[in-house]
Amino acid sequence: MSALCTLRRSLVAAVAALVSVLACLPASAQSPAPTRIGVLRLGAPTDPADRAHLAALDAGLREGGYVPGQNVRLEVRYAQGRVDRLPALARQLLALQVTAIVTSNPYTTRAAREVTSTLPIVVALDYETDPVAMRWIAGLPRPGGNLTGIFLDQPEMSGKLLQLLKETVPSLTRVAVLWDETLARAQLDATEAAARATGLVLVPFGVKSADDLEGAFAAAVRERAEGLVVLTSPLLSLNRARISELSLSRRLPGIALFTNFPGVGFLMAYGPDQPDAFRRAGSQYVAPILRGARPGDLPVQRPEKFELVINMRTARALGLTIPAAVSARADRVVR
What DSSP assignment string belongs to 7-72? HHHHHHHHHHHHHHHHHHS-HHHHSPPPEEEEEEESS-TT-HHHHHHHHHHHHHHHHTT--BTTTE
* Cα–Cα distance, 65 to 56 (Å, whole number): 14
- Regarding whether 168 and 259 lie in a shared domain, the answer is yes
Instruction: Determine the structural domain holding residue 140 and report its residue range.
Output: 32-152+274-304
Residue 262 resides in a domain: yes
Same domain, yes or no: 97 and 63: yes
Looking at residue 83, its pLDDT comes to 92
Residues 44, 192, single domain; the answer is no
In a domain, 26, yes or no: no
pLDDT at 27: 45
Asked if 47 and 139 sit in the same domain, the reply is yes
Task: Decide if 197 is inside a domain.
Answer: yes
> Is residue 200 domain-shared with residue 264, that is, in the same domain?
yes
Where would I find the beta strands (DSSP E) of the chain? Answer: 35-41, 72-78, 100-103, 121-126, 147-151, 174-180, 201-207, 227-230, 254-256, 268-272, 306-311, 332-334
Let me know how many helices (H) and strands (E) the chain has, helices first.
14, 12
- pLDDT value for 150: 98
Q: Is 19 within a domain?
A: no
Q: How far apart are the first and last CA of the chain?
A: 84
- Residue 141: inside a domain: yes
Asked if 271 and 263 count as a contact pair (C-beta separation under 8 A), the reply is: no
Is 201 domain-assigned?
yes
Query: Order of strands, edge to edge, in the sheet holding 227-230?
Result: 201-207, 174-180, 227-230, 254-256, 268-272, 306-311, 332-334
- For the chain, 335 residues long, give each residue's pLDDT as a single digit of tens: 455 455 455 554 555 554 454 455 454 445 678 999 999 999 999 988 899 999 999 999 999 999 999 999 999 999 999 999 999 999 999 999 999 999 999 999 999 999 999 999 999 999 988 899 899 999 999 999 999 999 997 767 889 999 999 999 999 999 999 999 988 788 899 899 999 988 999 999 999 999 999 999 999 999 999 999 999 998 999 999 999 999 999 999 999 999 999 999 999 999 999 999 999 999 999 999 999 999 999 999 999 999 999 999 999 999 999 999 999 999 999 99
The reported pLDDT for the residue numbered 8 is 54
Residues 321 and 207 in one domain: yes
Alpha helices in 64-105 (DSSP H): 86-95
Backbone φ and ψ for 177, nearest 5 degrees, come out as -125, 120
Q: What is the pLDDT of residue 20?
A: 54
**Which three-class secondary structure state does DSSP give residue 329?**
coil
311 and 206 in a single domain? The answer is yes
* pLDDT value, residue 70: 94
Residue among 258, 242, 259 nearest 250 (CA): 242
Q: In this structure, are 239 and 115 located in the same domain?
A: no
Q: How many domains does the chain have?
A: 2
Q: Are 41 and 104 in contact (CB under 8 A)?
A: yes
| Same domain membership, residue 323 and residue 206 | yes
Q: Within a domain: residue 2? A: no
> What 3 state SS string does 266-282 have?
CCEEEEECHHHHHHHHH
CATH number at residue 260: 3.40.50.2300
What number of other Cβ atoms are within 10 A of residue 152's Cβ? 20
User: 44 CB contacts (<8 Å, ≥6 apart)?
Assistant: 50, 78, 80, 81
Same domain, 294 and 199: no
Same domain, 52 and 65: yes
299 with 316, same domain: the answer is no
Q: Are 100 and 47 in contact (CB under 8 A)?
A: no
Which pLDDT score, from 0 to 100, does residue 327 have? 96
Q: Is 16 domain-assigned?
A: no
